[in-house]
């Protein structure tokens, strides 16, 4: 039985494994990896037990709160929260995480910092699990920052490579910008609501009483909850790689492939979507206000739609296998935000769960390819791997089908349908739906391009020609993830909305597949258009040599290069924000050197003047008498100096012995 007060065990187990990994010697590979995997497996079992409890009463939020510290005026309380959302996410993170850990056993085998790797990975998982079960925005924020720290450590794991160190720094600083918004939102929420607990038997900040207070219209007809919601959303923008803070996510590829899989599937980016889903009652509190110029969720929907389309566009023109997948993550996260924005957080979580499985599958598949091809990541230099890496190819193809949304069999289809269906029913605007549908075509297109370039045609470089299938340690997790990528879709089909009804705690009537079938038919058609176009351009006439120009680049070089340069976001930020920061720095240096420095110089001159006057008085009057005394003092000093050996150990020992002697004297005196 798993009642909420034992929930802390779920993150505590990986945290303990991280501690073991931290102190394990470098040779203790089996110890570090074994404890990490065992801890996560145990956490998985606990999560399943928790899920069972949560599913028994899906509409309730089981909480266990306690006072963290006393401020004098109030108590800062934190706690654990068990509901289907948290439990499902825990199960997903532990399951995907455990498979990624097992894969890492093979992938990181030659790395000399094997124990450090598993220590950081466990820390990452622990932080994410803590974030999932937190029943307080404060606790969530603490874990949120721990996730950020762990991602920094892992992206920069190969820190001797300058790109990796730079990417780690970029990820950390970019997400920090969003976290500032989250922090401000949290402070404001505490000020306005008086508590940071999510659920507290009617007193939490996500429960009706507090929401009614927060959603009351304030200045300009806007509600406080709108502002707080948007500030919290800033944190999610940073963490989940949404436009305009998505720039760190593709660079995060510099870490080892299992890290990319963990970041993109289970832990880091999922945190942002989870955060919005968790505070969804707060985000949607202003929906009831009529005539308000801006709803928080509207912003979420549009940011998500822009991100979904932009990520898909950029992914078309990337040549690094992991970068294509990274931008597909950006795009898919956009879909999730879009779903949250249009009011269907259930669809967002559904897509988050299915996406975790097939994106982990794709990244581990990419890792398997990279490992076999001796760290060749450029898809133009790969090729022809299908016959030689059969399991990797088959599982990668499953992941690709799921991501592209191949109808009926693959999980990505069902979750994407749910999102598009929700977007189609959004009363505010149909623009997000249009963006989403355009993204569907592009997704199918770039995934076909990726598979065609990597697995078909002739091998276009030496390492690709020698690539062989990896050991079972690496292929077994791929197979298991592939099963998940196929099967997971069936828990939330319109005909059997199990997930939806469990997450909301309400019975949701099953719909026929053909209700709203027009939209579904349209998106199926779009998927096939994308697949067909991709196959026509890249599959039929496969690339024969690495240096050949991309067919799209030949036709529209300007657009292709613009997309290939990731829409020049990095250059834009360097030109605006970076330059501004440099100017501010120059200004600060100038102020420091001339204004403050001048004042200090003035004071110093004054002091010097006083000193000169002092010295004159001293030498003229006082010295003679002192000289005689100091001569005597110097003699005494010489006598004492002989006792000074200069050995610090000796001094300390003498002190200790003297203490013992004195204490014995006192004890003897006291007679006790």
**Interface residues with another protein (CB under 8 A)?**
19, 22-23, 25, 69-73, 638, 640-649, 652-653, 656-657, 659-660, 663-664, 667, 672
- Of the candidates 271, 275, 255, 248, the residue with the CA atom closest to the CA atom of residue 172: 248
Min CB(67)–another protein separation in Å = 9
Min CB(65)–another protein separation in Å = 17
Min CB(32)–another protein separation in Å = 13
Distance CA 620, CA 566 (A): 77
Min CB(643)–another protein separation in Å = 7
If the CB atoms of residues 21 and 432 are measured against another protein, the closer one turns out to be 21
If the CB atoms of residues 495 and 667 are measured against another protein, the closer one turns out to be 667
Min CB(663)–another protein separation in Å = 4
If the CB atoms of residues 176 and 511 are measured against another protein, the closer one turns out to be 176
Which residues have CB under 8 Å from 418's CB, separation 6+? 339, 344, 346, 347, 350, 351, 492, 494
Q: What SS3 string covers 547-570?
A: CCCCHHHHHCHHHHHHHHCHHHHH
Min CB(640)–another protein separation in Å = 7
Distance CA 401, CA 486 (A): 9
Strand (E) or helix (H) holding 235: helix 224-239
Min CB(16)–another protein separation in Å = 12
If the CB atoms of residues 540 and 649 are measured against another protein, the closer one turns out to be 649
Which residues have CB under 8 Å from 132's CB, separation 6+? 86, 89, 90, 93, 274
Distance CA 188, CA 181 (A): 10
If the CB atoms of residues 73 and 619 are measured against another protein, the closer one turns out to be 73
If the CB atoms of residues 109 and 647 are measured against another protein, the closer one turns out to be 647
Min CB(510)–another protein separation in Å = 52
Provide the token pair at 535. Answer: 């196959």
Min CB(658)–another protein separation in Å = 11
If the CB atoms of residues 587 and 601 are measured against another protein, the closer one turns out to be 601
Evaluate the omega torsion of the peptide bond into residue 435 and state whether it is cis, within 30 degrees of 0: no
- Of the candidates 325, 312, 310, 439, the residue with the CA atom closest to the CA atom of residue 379: 325
Contact at 8 Å (CB) between 347 and 422? yes
Bridge partners, residue 136, by sequence = 197
Alpha-carbon dihedral sign for residues 423, 429, 430, 431? negative
CA atoms within 13 A on the CB side of 268: 35
If the CB atoms of residues 577 and 664 are measured against another protein, the closer one turns out to be 664
Contact at 8 Å (CB) between 262 and 100? yes
If the CB atoms of residues 512 and 644 are measured against another protein, the closer one turns out to be 644
């Amino acid at each position: 039985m798993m009642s909420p007060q034992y929930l802390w065990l779920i993150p505590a187990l990986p945290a303990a494994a991280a501690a073991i990994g931290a102190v394990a010697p470098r040779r203790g590979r089996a110890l570090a990896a074994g404890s990490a995997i065992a801890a996560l497996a145990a956490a998985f079992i606990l999560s399943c037990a928790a899920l069972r409890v949560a599913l028994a009463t899906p509409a309730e939020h089981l909480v266990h709160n306690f006072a963290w510290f006393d401020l004098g005026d109030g108590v800062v309380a934190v706690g654990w929260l068990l509901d289907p959302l948290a439990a499902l996410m825990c199960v997903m993170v532990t399951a995907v995480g455990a498979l990624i850990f097992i894969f890492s056993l093979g992938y990181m085998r030659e790395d000399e910092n094997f124990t450090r790797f598993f220590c950081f990975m466990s820390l990452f998982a622990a932080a994410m699990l803590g974030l999932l079960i937190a029943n307080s925005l404060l606790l969530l924020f603490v874990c949120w920052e721990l996730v950020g720290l762990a991602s920094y450590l892992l992206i920069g794991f190969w820190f001797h490579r300058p790109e990796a160190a730079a990417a780690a720094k970029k990820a950390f600083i970019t997400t920090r910008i969003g976290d500032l918004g989250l922090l401000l939102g949290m402070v404001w929420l505490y000020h306005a609501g008086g508590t940071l607990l999510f659920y507290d038997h009617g007193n939490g900040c996500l429960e009706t009483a507090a929401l009614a207070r927060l959603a009351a219209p304030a200045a300009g007809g806007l509600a406080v909850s709108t502002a707080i919601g948007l500030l919290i959303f800033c944190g999610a923008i940073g963490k989940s790689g949404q436009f305009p803070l998505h720039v760190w996510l593709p660079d995060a590829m510099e870490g080892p492939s299992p890290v990319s899989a963990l970041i993109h599937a289970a832990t880091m980016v999922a945190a942002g979507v989870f955060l919005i889903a968790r505070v969804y009652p707060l985000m949607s509190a202003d929906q009831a206000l009529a005539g308000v110029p801006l709803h928080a969720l509207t912003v979420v929907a549009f940011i998500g739609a822009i991100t979904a389309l932009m990520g898909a566009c950029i992914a078309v023109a990337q040549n690094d296998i992991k970068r294509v997948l990274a931008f597909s993550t950006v795009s898919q996260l956009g879909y999730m935000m879009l779903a949250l924005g249009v009011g269907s957080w259930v669809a967002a979580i559904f897509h988050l769960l299915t996406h975790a499985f097939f994106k982990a599958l794709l990244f581990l598949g990419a890792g398997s390819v990279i490992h076999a091809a001796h760290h060749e990541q450029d898809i133009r230099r790969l090729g022809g791997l299908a016959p030689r890496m059969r399991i990797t190819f088959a599982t990668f193809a499953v992941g690709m089908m799921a991501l592209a949304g191949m109808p009926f069999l693959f999980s990505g289809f069902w979750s994407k349908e749910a999102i598009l269906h929700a977007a189609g029913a959004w009363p505010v605007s149909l623009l997000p739906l249009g963006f989403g549908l355009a993204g569907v075509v592009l997704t199918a297109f770039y995934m076909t391009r990726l598979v065609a370039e990597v697995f078909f045609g002739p091998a276009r470089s030496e390492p690709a020609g020698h690539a062989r299938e990896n050991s079972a340690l690496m292929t077994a997790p791929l197979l298991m993830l592939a099963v998940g990528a196929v099967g997971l879709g069936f828990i939330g089909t319109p005909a059997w909305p199990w997930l939806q009804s469990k997450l909301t705690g309400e019975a949701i009537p099953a719909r026929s597949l053909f209700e709203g079938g027009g939209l579904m038919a349209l998106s199926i058609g779009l998927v096939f258009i994308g697949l067909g176009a991709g196959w026509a351009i890249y599959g039929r006439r496969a690339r024969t040599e690495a240096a050949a120009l991309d067919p799209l680049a030949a036709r529209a070089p300007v657009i292709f290069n613009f997309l290939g340069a990731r829409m020049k976001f990095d250059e834009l930020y360097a030109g605006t924000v970076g330059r501004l920061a440099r100017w501010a720095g120059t200004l600060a240096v100038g102020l420091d050197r001339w204004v403050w420095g001048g004042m200090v110089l003035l004071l110093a001159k004054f002091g010097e003047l006083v000193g000169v006057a002092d010295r004159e008085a001293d030498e003229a009057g006082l010295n003679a008498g002192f000289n005689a005394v100091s001569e005597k003092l110097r003699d005494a000093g010489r006598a004492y100096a002989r006792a000074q050996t200069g050995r610090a150990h000796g001094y300390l020992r003498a002190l200790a012995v003297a203490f013992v002697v004195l204490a014995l004297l006192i004890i003897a005196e006291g007679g006790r």
